[in-house]
Chains A and B, each alone.
Chain A
């Protein structure tokens, strides 16, 4: 089964760029999943950020689209998230997932990213 592990800085300064990587194991990133980023602000609900297919096709949350880039590295079996111009409102636990049939089947453990100076 697919296993996912997020990694990246736990602290990002305001106006900076949040960068996270998700390493995929147990399956190839070229398998027929959409590779997805979802976040959860402390004590709040989930928010879909966006997704990428190994073909390179991406889809983004319209409210974040101007600040988000998701990319895939087939050679390393991983995908990444960049979120620019961050503010305190971007403080959240960020999850990477694999999605099929309109659902996220497998989830990483999540990584907390705090935006603060």
Chain B
């Protein structure tokens, strides 16, 4: 299985929105509603921000939202704040009862 494709970087000014894509195949992203998104600050463990495409765990701000169309999932961060600057990783359940992660996107708040 190949890693899901994410853009290496994305950026936005405070208060703006940024959207990150995560492209897979019909054997992972397109085949299951099991996409998750993780935020990772430098030197820290990842933290789940979105699961099952668009659900937010308790405590995650509603500025974070997820969606999916076909083989591509997306994470949108609205009202960008300085603390949103981090790496973001998508993940999807995949055939063969496994999981595949994305290549990761570094979000910069300008």
A interface vs B, CB < 8 Å? 38, 44-48, 50, 59-63, 95, 101-105, 107-110
Q: Find out whether the CB atom of B3 lies under 8 angstroms from the CB atom of A45.
A: yes
Interface residues on B, range: 20 to 34
Q: Which of B3, B89, B97 has the most CB of A within 10 A?
A: B97
Q: A59-B97, A102-B36 are in contact. Are A45 and B45 (CB under 8 A)?
A: no
**Assuming A45-B102, A101-B52, A102-B51, is B3 touching A109 (CB within 8 A)?**
no
Inter-subunit contact B45/A101 (CB<8 Å): no
Cα–Cα distance between A46 and B101 once the two chains are bound (Å): 6
Q: Are the C-beta atoms of B48 and A103 separated by less than 8 Å?
A: yes
Inside 8 A of B99's CB, which chain A residues have their CB?
A: 48, 61, 102
B104 touches A62 (CB 8 A): no
In the complex, which of the residues B1, B3, B46 has the most CB atoms of chain A within 10 Å of its own CB atom?
B46
Inter-chain contact B100/A62, CB cutoff 8 Å: no
Q: Which residues of B contact A110 (CB under 8 A)?
A: 45
> Which one, B45, B100, B101, contacts A108 given CB within 8 A?
B45
Q: How far is the CA of A40 from the CA of B3 in the complex (A)?
A: 13
A108 to B46, CA, bound (A): 10
Nearest A residue to B4 via CB reads: A45
User: Can you name the residue of chain B whose Cβ is closest to the Cβ of A95?
Assistant: B45
